[in-house]
A = this chain, B = another copy of it.
Amino acid sequence: MTTSVRDEVLTKGKRAKAAAARLGIMTRAQKDAILLAMADALEAASARVLEANGRDVAEARKRATSAAPIDRLMLNEKRVAEMADGLRVVAALTDPVGEVIGGWRLPIGIEISKVRVPLGVIGIIYESRPNVTVDAAGLCLKAGNAVILRGGSDAINSNIELVRILTEAGGRAGLPDGGIEIIETTDREAAAQLMRLTEYVDVLIPRGGGGLIRRVKEESTVPVIETGEGNCHVYVDASADLDWAEAITVNAKCQRPGVCNAAETLLVHREVAAEFLPRIGEKLIAQGVELRGCEETRRYLPQAKPATEEDWATEFLALILAIKVVGSIEEAIAHINRYGTMHSEAIITRDLANARRFTHEVDAAAVYVNASTRFTDGGQFGMGAEIGISTQKLHARGPMGLPELTSYKYIITGEGQVRA
């Protein structure tokens, strides 16, 4: 590793840790004042953001093979205003820090209280969307954490300019030096260094595709919260209301196919396959969905291509749906637990025993009965905002809002008690 990269990451890690100690004891009023100052500054400096973003977009156009990455990267006045509004929404949320989440008195008179505290320093490793820069900074700050941002090289000019605006305005409003840091070196060395900065970073949250998340999980010695990979299923039970099944399948697949809570595989009970498959097939094809079915599916739905083993395991993030006919709820649950990513799974049923069984036995962050998987989202859940959707079981599961960006400590008060 080159000295300059190591120096940058280490220096920023140290600064962030020092800032975290100060942020952790700030009042809500102080943090909200910083957030609102940052929001106003961002809107006022929109032209600076768009100029930097224009440089990123011009670079990306030279390399681009499709329009999608450009769309993710490109900002305009409206998108900048939305980022600023996002900070105002976070300012309006309750401060999780200081919440007493438990407390009791020991027989010898010592009092224990369990109090929410910030995690400390949070590292965010993400890909090309520059809005993550502002969202993550706002959420981490509100929960009393310092943040180290490590965005993709595509958006580096946008990200650096955004952080410059946030820290200039934030600094004037009381944000400590190091409260929001961005790693400016975009090569892999810098990310690798951040992933091993256990002395200064308390947790890493990767946001992006499966490849990024697996790499962070593999390389990081800093604790990681895995987010976002969603190979989600809709299972249509023998007793399903087929109108609900149709509406939910179409919604889960088509309403926004590029996101993690969209459905990727439809499982249909054999007893309703002959009725449901032709009906849902027609609706999905009308929406432009490519269907890939098991052999039995293709009997009722000859328009479907043959599904491969790989299809069952793939998060398409596109208008593609794998379809499989199953003989029982057991088979559906086993398929989901084998191929799913513990994100969002739905059963459509009128049978209470099957609903209970599915919710008990499917191992996922969010298990749905008769509703669309698309609801797995911090905003939809009423959390106000989210930093991502955890697909692991440690620390936090599902949408992560402000409380999920905290830890706790025990505060124990006595009058000279010692242990016998």
**Contact residues in B for A366 (Cβ distance below 8 Å):** 409-410, 412
A151: Cβ under 8 A from any B Cβ: no
Is there contact, CB below 8 Å, between A382 and B104?
yes
**Contact residues in B for A369 (Cβ distance below 8 Å):** 411-414
Is there contact, CB below 8 Å, between B364 and A409?
yes
Chain B nearest CB from A30 CB (Å) reads: 14
Of the candidates B224, B374, B398, B418, the one whose C-beta lies within 8 Å of that of A419 is: B374
A217: Cβ under 8 A from any B Cβ: yes
A4: Cβ under 8 A from any B Cβ: no
A202 to B390, CA, bound (A): 14
Chain A 201-238 against B: per-residue CB contact (8 Å), 1 yes, 0 no? 01100000000000001100101110000000000000
Is there contact, CB below 8 Å, between A367 and B409?
yes
Binding site secondary structure of chain A: mixed
**Contact residues in B for A286 (Cβ distance below 8 Å):** none
- A interface, size bucket: 35 or more
Copies in the complex: 2
A50 to B202, CA, bound (A): 44
Instruction: Specify the chain B residue showing the minimal Cβ separation from A246.
Output: B416
A21 to B338, CA, bound (A): 12
Instruction: Name, among A241, A248, A361, A419, the residue most crowded by chain B CB atoms within 10 Å (CB to CB).
Output: A419
Chain A 31-47 against B: per-residue CB contact (8 Å), 1 yes, 0 no? 00000000000000000
**Contact residues in B for A416 (Cβ distance below 8 Å):** 241, 243-244, 247-248, 370-371
Chain B nearest CB from A339 CB (Å) reads: 12
Is there contact, CB below 8 Å, between B413 and A110?
no
A303: Cβ under 8 A from any B Cβ: no
A411 to B375, CA, bound (A): 12
Instruction: Specify the chain B residue showing the minimal Cβ separation from A348.
Output: B416
User: Contacts A223-B394, A365-B410: A417 and B372 contacting too (C-beta < 8 A)?
Assistant: yes
A413 to B349, CA, bound (A): 11
**Contact residues in B for A250 (Cβ distance below 8 Å):** 418
A186: Cβ under 8 A from any B Cβ: no
A363: Cβ under 8 A from any B Cβ: yes
Interface residues in A389-420 by Cβ distance below 8 A to B read 392-395, 397-398, 407-419
**Contact residues in B for A120 (Cβ distance below 8 Å):** 363, 393
Chain B nearest CB from A415 CB (Å) reads: 6
**Contact residues in B for A410 (Cβ distance below 8 Å):** 365-367, 376, 381, 397-398
**Contact residues in B for A395 (Cβ distance below 8 Å):** 394-395
A106: Cβ under 8 A from any B Cβ: yes
Instruction: Specify the chain B residue showing the minimal Cβ separation from A371.
Output: B414
Chain A 15-41 against B: per-residue CB contact (8 Å), 1 yes, 0 no? 000000100110000000000000000
A365 to B252, CA, bound (A): 42
A224 to B252, CA, bound (A): 34
Instruction: Specify the chain B residue showing the minimal Cβ separation from A20.
Output: B363
Chain B nearest CB from A395 CB (Å) reads: 4
Is there contact, CB below 8 Å, between B21 and A375?
no
**Contact residues in B for A247 (Cβ distance below 8 Å):** 416, 418
A247 to B419, CA, bound (A): 10
Is there contact, CB below 8 Å, between B223 and A198?
no
A255 to B360, CA, bound (A): 46
- CB pairs A–B below 8 angstroms (8 shown): A21-B361, A25-B360, A104-B382, A119-B393, A223-B223, A251-B418, A369-B412, A371-B415
By a beta-carbon cutoff of 8 Å, the part of chain A in contact with chain B is 21, 24-25, 104, 106, 110, 112, 119-120, 198, 202-203, 217-218, 221, 223-225, 241, 243-244, 247-248, 250-252, 255, 337, 355, 359-361, 363-372, 374-376, 380-382, 392-395, 397-398, 407-419
